[in-house]
Amino acid sequence: MYIHEPERGYIPLIILNQRINDKKNVLSIKGIDTPEQVSFLINKKIYITEDNLGDLQADEYYCYQILGLKVKTVSDEYIGTVVKIFSTGSNDIYEVAKEDGKTVLIPAIKSVIKKVDVKAGILIIEPIEGMEL
């Protein structure tokens, strides 16, 4: 696990213990024993290497794999590029930036998302009734 500080680069942190507490990930980090010592992590992004990511089920993807994918319809109409992901609780929503500067929201549900090809950089969708592209 790392944090990034512009003046110091990526700083490694060693995780000693991890547990889930009320749907939150609680970590014990080497050299950090008090709330005051952990304060430097407030509002910092935490980074991990890909080899430390957990395995996913079939048809599951990490957000970083979806961001930047080119979106096309099943009829090969180009829509745009995934630029943001919103978690709503029931499903994610992909914000897609179109070439005209507008955006469209795509629900990440099986009836809409037909294919994700991370290697090819493509997300194929089947628009549902009422979806404005």
pLDDT in tens, the chain (133 residues): 899 888 889 999 998 998 988 878 888 999 999 989 988 888 888 888 888 888 888 888 999 999 999 999 999 999 999 999 999 988 999 999 999 999 999 999 999 999 999 999 999 999 998 888 8
* pTM, entire model: 0.74
What range defines the domain where residue 75 resides? 63-125
CA distances from 43 to 19, 71, 107, 129 (A): 21, 32, 29, 40
Distance CA 113, CA 86 (A): 15
Residue 97 lies in a domain: yes
Q: How many domains does the chain have?
A: 2
Instruction: Kindly state the helix (H) or strand (E) to which residue 35 belongs, with its residue range.
Output: helix 35-38
45 and 69 housed in the same domain: no
